[in-house]
Amino acid sequence: MADYPFEPFRIKVVEPIRLNTREERARVLEEAGYNLFAVRAEDILIDLFTDSGTTAMSDSQWAGMMQGDEAYAGCRNFYHLEDVQKTIFGMPYFVPTHQGRPAETMLMDLTLSTGDVVPNNMHFDSTEANVVVRGAQAVNLAIDEAWDPQARHPFKGNMDVEKLRRCIEETGVERIPFVMITVTNNTGAGQPVSMENIRAVKKVAEEFGLPLWFDAARYAENAYFIKLREPGYEFKTPLEIANEMFSVADGFVMSCKKDGLVNIGGLFGTRDAELFERAKVIMILREGFLTYGGLAGRDLEALARGLMEGVEESYLAYRIHQTKYLGDRLLEAEVPIFEPVGGHAVYLDIKRFLPHIPQSQFPGMAFTARLYLDAGVRAVELGSLAFAHTDSETGETKFPALELVRLTLPRRVYTQRHLDYVADAIIKIYKERDQLQGLELVWEAPVMRHFTAKLAPVS
């Protein structure tokens, strides 16, 4: 028997991959300004850019879409989703949104003012941007081990509770609208948060009268890691663990394009009736009526079914071990990665991978460009381009502590042979790493520049 679970499904429909040449990819890369956001999907052989909305849906989900009730108000698919929301998350008030970002935006619009501070284990790019554009400050308070790619802590997504307490005391409660935990911690290499830590953070938040919110995009993967790694949970189901996680939260925002196993959709849930009344006004203004939230009835049905599939233990075992398989292949070849391997992606530690390229020359982008050029594989940089900031007072650039490239596995999409192809390409680049050169900015946007930036090889 293999020491990892095989895929708990059979393949019923396939999508062809268009093969292209290295010469074609060189032209595409130059035209895209060395930013793979600007490359057409049809020019990608294996796409590990994101797990957001890239899921292969099940036969049950596709069948459910044929039962989409497209009534403007009160469609039956909403009430199915409502039942599932109660089963998993248990929030008394919720609305669907067309994806996670509007749910996140709504929370920030309802709670944030200029000068506020939002403590988190680690903010992801859109969360941080939503805080910053409102004149507030996003503060990352993960434990020290979270910043060390080689530390093998089982829950490197944990928030440092003492740092949180100091942050609240030094900032003042009146300037902190809520405390947030991202599960799993995407910016910190998809690392999970323990139940013990969730409860400890909640205790501090309650002490100061602050609500605790989850960024819950990958909550199911987090629940499965708790089952695998936290004593006392080994005999609980992922659903039971998720129930316990959300019983501690005062609210959550979620991109359902991850653990909801759908191509579009999001959720906003809360226990606060007054906050929800204000949220309903924003919803109607921006997303549509409360029972569809910018989604078709068929999408609501696919989401209701996908959420329940996402907490199935056989699926989660396959999901976590597939990611680990890619990580293990790279570790065997001594390729520097962030350890231990997280749930949705393998993260390359670019500071150790390309030590000769300074952060000012975007080594992560240099790697993603080379990986695409050599193998047609698309990965995403989460380093200097995504997270560096210019100090408004000194004009000095502050580079992030972690310089990572994320190899994100879409759910139920690629086979083990695909992952072997990716691993072989990365191992070859690592052996030839001294050949790689840095990149320089040609153009950048003022916010979330990595989405649209143009770069070129350093002159």
Active site residues: 72, 124-125, 215, 217, 258, 450
Q: 3-class DSSP state for residue 382?
A: strand
Beta carbons of 346 and 412 less than 8 angstroms apart: no
Residues in the chain, overall count: 459
Q: 3-class DSSP state for residue 372?
A: helix
Beta carbons of 210 and 176 less than 8 angstroms apart: yes
Residue type, 137: Q
List b or e across 226-237, with b for residues whose CB sees 16 or more CB atoms inside 10 angstroms.
bbeebeebeebb
Structure tokens at 400: 């992030």
Other CB atoms within a 10 A radius of the CB of residue 83 amount to: 12
Q: 3-class DSSP state for residue 137?
A: strand
Residue type, 14: V
| Cα–Cα distance measured from residue 78 to residue 91, given in angstroms and rounded to the nearest whole number | 15
| Cα–Cα distance measured from residue 317 to residue 103, given in angstroms and rounded to the nearest whole number | 29
Alpha-helical (H) ranges within 310-451 are: 313-332, 350-353, 363-375, 384-387, 416-431
CA-CA distances (angstroms) from residue 424 to 325, 335, 370, 421?
13, 11, 14, 5
